[in-house]
Structure 1
């Protein structure tokens, strides 16, 4: 029997022990439960991560063993750090995708455009798109780290070096696909297709007006300097989502939404996404 990926969290403050005491009390209850049911916790695999500047960074114990403090943990394939920035996730994803590209290059002495496109979409692109809502890059260095995967498509012998990677491999640019993935996830959440309550991430806007759709989201005003917060999935996607027309949003299934948004962008263009074959 296993109980993996269990999280315990609470809000803590330096001037109060209430939050940290509650965490330790919950840990004590977990220990009592594990002793009762003879399902021992492996404390060496348990990690504690302190988040925020106002964190007292208290030590916690599970039974008699102190839980190790970690700056970085891997959670369901996504690397989470104590500064909440996606840099580590972007680097790990880019390295994994680059390894797949090298394997393709070593395996095939010559590969045409169509075959490379199939291999790229099946084995390379999923590495940099996995759970992109949680690890989408927004800093310049992180974006460059991911974009080097697109540039590496010139490794295919039939492609000219001056050809744009997206056109060469028959693929869409990664920024466009990240934005598309964000919008698809919003559609799923608002239509109850994910096990997530919409109000946990979004606030519906009451100012729908006569234009647009009835699923518009309210964008909260953030304090200046909170670049990290405004780049989170629940914030960065709102403006683009609200600009979509009603016939794109008011569909029943995810596949219908994908088809509508692809058709809308190809027909009308959408900033840098104009003309892309999504």
Structure 2
């Protein structure tokens, strides 16, 4: 099967993946070049695309909702009834059979909802562990769905970047501090509720006043 790819695309991908070599660097010393026998270069669009083709038959016979995207594939279903739990377990058994055939492994459960009974499920003979927070496509999702974990992580990252700017840049002019913070610290914040606080701190530093500079150093975390 070609999955909608023409001969030219197939030949192009084959040429790109054939003959690849790799080496490692340890303490300024390189290893010898070794052939890459499988896989695709990390960061390329080809990696997720080939993985999606690999798991294209994963949803055969699945009754619950299966959201497929490379290794972030998720199976979800309602577990507030006995029938719903049984259906979800049947689908987990199908995924376990598929995983064993394809030498793959699944991981944790994220229980969502305030009234979720937290029913236990298994893959084969292994009981799956319930998790309070998981990273989904780069974003932390918690079981309360209030994004508190993601907001805290974004605030920590922005504060870390802002600390580097505050200590490393001696020029306190607005023309320097505001643009630098806008392109380095603020883009790392995913929740818009945090943005005004960061902008306020950047503005205080840009004023060049001693009071504003001391406030910046004493602030340990962003308001949420």
Which residue among 27, 30, 34 is the counterpart of 2:92?
27
- Residues matched between the structures, number: 145
Structure 2 CA distance for partners of 1:65 and 1:97, relative to 1, 3 Å: same
**Cα offset, 1:7, TM superposition:** 0.8
Q: Distance in 2 between matches of 1:161 and 1:76?
A: 42
User: Which residue of structure 1 lines up, in the alignment, with residue 16 of structure 2?
Assistant: none
Q: Is the 8 A contact 1:110 1:156 kept in 2?
A: no
Deviation, structure 1 residue 111:
4.0
Contact 2:120/2:128, CA 8 A, preserved across alignment:
yes
Structure with bigger gyration radius: 2
- Structure 1 residues 29 and 21: alpha-carbon distance in aligned structure 2, compared to 1, 3 A threshold: same
Cα distance change, pair 85–109 in 1 and its aligned pair in 2 (3 A): same
Query: 2:76 matched to 1:9?
Result: yes
The alignment partner of 2:141 has SS state of strand
- Deviation track 1:30-73 (CA, whole Å, cap 9, x = no partner) reads 11112222x321x5xx2212222332211111222221111112
Q: Does the aligned pair in 1 maintain the 2:174–2:203 contact within 8 Å? A: no
Contact 1:105/1:155, CA 8 A, preserved across alignment: no
Shift of 1:107: 1.7
Q: CA deviation at 1:150?
A: 2.6
Regions of 4+ moved over 6 Å:
none
Distance in 1, Cα, partners of 2:210 & 2:117: 53
Q: 1:114 to 1:157 in 2, by over 3 A?
A: closer
Corresponding residue number in structure 2 for 1:156: 205
Q: Please identify which structure carries the higher helix content.
A: 1
Q: Answer 1 or 2: higher relative contact order, Cα 8 Å, separation at least 6.
A: 1
Give the match's secondary structure for 1:4: helix
Residue ranges of structure 1 left out of the alignment (5+ in a row): 137-142, 164-278
Structure 2 runs not aligned, ≥5 long: 1-38, 40-50, 52-69, 213-224
> 1:86: how far off?
2.2
Distance 1:20 1:160 in 2: 61
What TM-score do you get using the length of structure 2 for normalisation?
A: 0.56
Q: Is 1:85 the counterpart of 2:146 in the alignment?
A: yes
* In 2: Cα distance, 1:160 partner to 1:109 partner: 13
Aligned alpha-carbon RMSD (Å): 2.6
Structure 2: distance between partners of 1:83 and 1:149: 26
